[in-house]
Each structure stands twice: as C-alpha cells, then as structure tokens.
C-alpha cells in the first residue's frame, strides 16, 4: 500500500490478488454523465439550458453545465465561463478526432456528442456511449469515516482504459442570470448544476484505489454540491468517464 497526502486529500492504493476483484455492472443509479457546454452569449443555448434542468431530474443522469468563454467577445461576458471549460471541450474534440466544438453541445460519458437542445439526439448518443470503452463500468463506493469522505474505486474491467484521474467537481445547483447585452440581451436564464471548479484528487492506474477527502476538499467558492468522477485520460486527450456519483448537496 502506498499512501500520500496533498492539500487535504489522502490517497491509498491497494493491490488485490488476481481474481479477487469483482467488477460492478454499469450502475443504473448513475447510468450516464451529460456535460453541457453552453454560453450566456449564445442565442441557441437557452433551450438547451432549459432541457438541462429537466435532464438533471432524471434518475440515472448526472447533468453538468460548463459555460465556455469564446462567445464573450460579442457583447456579453458570461458570468460563469471559464477558459478551463473551453479547453475541456476542445480536448474532447481532439480525443474524438472530429474537431466539433460548438454551443450548445452535450458530451455524454466523455465519448459521444450531441446538440445540447435536442433530447432525442442526446438519448441516441447516450445509447451509443453506454459501456463504450468501459464508460461507467468501474465501481465507486463512498462512506464517511473519521471525519473524511472515503471513496473506494474499483479496478478496470476488460476493454476499459487502465489510466485516469479521480476528480471532485464542484457544482452550483441553480443560478439565475439576467443578461444585459449580446444575443440574449434582456433575457433571464436559469442554469442548472453549473460547474464552478474541478479539483484532481489523484491518479488511477486501473487497480482498486482508495481516496480519502477532507471536508475542505469538498468545498469551493460559489458551490453547494459536488460530483465525484473517475475519467480515463492520456496526455491532452480525455477518455471515457468510467465512474461518477452525486455527492452532498443533491
């Protein structure tokens, strides 16, 4: 076992004998993760933002809104946008190899994309992403122990990536904005599960791993909930979301 501490986060890696690990099936309670790349400066986005609120209430769906900043130049600076979210969207396009970066764009399980305002297209992409490259196939269990959140993540099943990272995604459940300029000038839009930051807890090497997170590591300015997420990666490319769970606040 190797154990380290960094910024309120403990990481422990446990090696199990071959055959000692069981792989959980795709969990019905968290069957898909949808990331909506949106912008307050995009006239096509409000219908997608409204759909996001409905999808967030669906059992089995973790819905996240990630506002991008590349429409800020047309007259309104998005109050939630982050260049990190723009970079994340571009990394997905690089990983897929299709170069498709637009708003509103929904990315499902880190693999498939769809127009963010089209529920049929999103459901079709979800069916294609289900289990692809190990998407949502790794077990993730949480419990409270000694004042910390303990997270046990399973090993990689056959066909899944053997390398990735475990994240805490900080979320503002609902925020309403009156937009003063740009394409949506005069409109008031409510945003659902707006990502306010993503903190990397530690790496994952395809083997059962335990993460211990202090309460300070679960909090972020302007957030009131969090999501736990395990995602495959290889350099600048993002892979499948292998596991995810809603945390406190949902």
Specify whether the CB–CB gap between 43 and 189 falls below 8 A. no
Residue 118 class from Cβ within 10 Å (0-12 exposed, 13-18 middle, 19+ buried)?
Answer: middle
Mean pLDDT, rounded, for 223-245: 94
pLDDT of residue 30: 56
Mean pLDDT, rounded, for 126-130: 96
pTM for the full predicted model: 0.89
Q: Which residue from 168, 171, 174 is spatially nearest to 49, judged by alpha carbons?
A: 174
CA-CA distance, 90 to 174, in Å (whole number)?
25
Binned at pLDDT 50, 70 and 90, residue 58 comes out as: very high
């Amino acid at each position: 076992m190797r154990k380290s501490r960094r910024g309120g986060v403990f990481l422990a890696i446990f090696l199990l004998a071959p055959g000692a690990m069981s792989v959980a099936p795709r969990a019905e309670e968290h069957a898909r993760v949808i990331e909506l790349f949106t912008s307050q400066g995009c006239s096509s986005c409000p219908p997608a933002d409204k759909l996001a609120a409905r999808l967030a209430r669906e059992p089995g769906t973790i819905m996240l809104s990630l506002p991008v900043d590349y429409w800020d130049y047309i007259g309104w600076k998005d109050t939630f946008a982050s260049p990190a979210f723009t970079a994340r969207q571009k990394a997905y396009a690089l990983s897929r190899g299709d170069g498709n970066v637009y708003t509103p764009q929904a990315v499902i399980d880190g693999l498939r994309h769809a127009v963010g305002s089209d529920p049929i297209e999103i459901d079709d992409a979800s069916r294609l992403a289900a289990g692809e490259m190990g998407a949502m196939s790794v077990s993730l269990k949480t419990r409270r122990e000694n004042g910390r959140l303990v997270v046990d993540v399973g090993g990689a099943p056959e066909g899944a990536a053997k390398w990735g990272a475990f994240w805490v995604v900080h979320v503002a459940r609902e925020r309403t904005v009156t937009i003063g300029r740009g394409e949506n000038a005069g409109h008031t839009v409510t945003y659902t599960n707006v990502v306010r930051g993503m903190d990397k807890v530690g790496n994952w090497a395809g083997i059962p791993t335990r993460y211990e997170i202090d309460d300070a590591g679960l909090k972020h300015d302007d957030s009131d909930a969090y999501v736990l997420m395990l995602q495959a990666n290889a350099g600048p490319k993002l892979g499948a979301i292998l596991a995810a769970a809603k945390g406190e606040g949902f």
